Amino acid sequence: MKKIVMLAAAVIFSTAAFAQGDKTTVRDDATGAKTTVEERDNGTVKVESRSGRTKAGQKAYNTKEDVKHAGKKTGSVVKKGAQKTGKAVKKGAKAVKNKAEDVVD
């Protein structure tokens, strides 16, 4: 019963996705403007245009990207440092253990 329901749901969703019209998006990288043209099955055409970022918006976007990049670099450096510290602590603990066994023997 579950398989029949799952199969029916898959068929319904796939036909719903197939019924959507063709969608074409054109983006101008210089200005960031985007135009989307959608041709529907009944022959109508829908056109959506979105202007690009303003200068202030572009500066804010660039700042956000720079902060994201710096955060990733900092995170990887911190992770590497923590790994090196963990290895050093493990090595030191092992050396102390060996020395303690020598003293006991």
**Tens digit of pLDDT per residue, the chain (105 long)?**
666 766 666 666 555 455 556 888 888 777 778 888 888 888 888 888 887 777 888 888 899 999 999 999 999 999 999 999 999 999 888 888 777 665 655
pTM: 0.39
Q: What is the DSSP letter of 32?
A: -
CA distance 64 to 41: 40
Q: What is the structure's pLDDT at 9?
A: 65
Q: 82 and 46: one domain?
A: no
pLDDT given at position 41:
83
Cα angle at 84 between 83 and 88, to 5 degrees? 115
- Type and span of the H or E element at 38: strand 34-39
Judge contact between 68 and 52, C-beta under 8 A.
no
Backbone phi, psi, residue 8, to 5°: -65, -40
Position 10 scores a pLDDT of 66
For the chain, the domain total comes to 2
pLDDT at 105: 53
How many secondary structure helices (H) and strands (E) does the chain include? Answer: 2, 3
pLDDT of res. 43: 83
* Residue range of the domain that includes 8: 1-52
* Same domain flag for 37 and 59: no
- Are 61 and 88 part of one and the same domain? yes
The CA-CA-CA angle for residues 91, 93, 98, to 5°, reads 95
Same domain, 104 and 68: yes
My answer on whether 102 and 59 are in the same domain is yes
Residues 72, 35: one domain? no
Shared domain for 77 and 62, answered yes or no, is: yes
72 and 30 within one domain: no
End of a domain among 37, 52, 67? 52
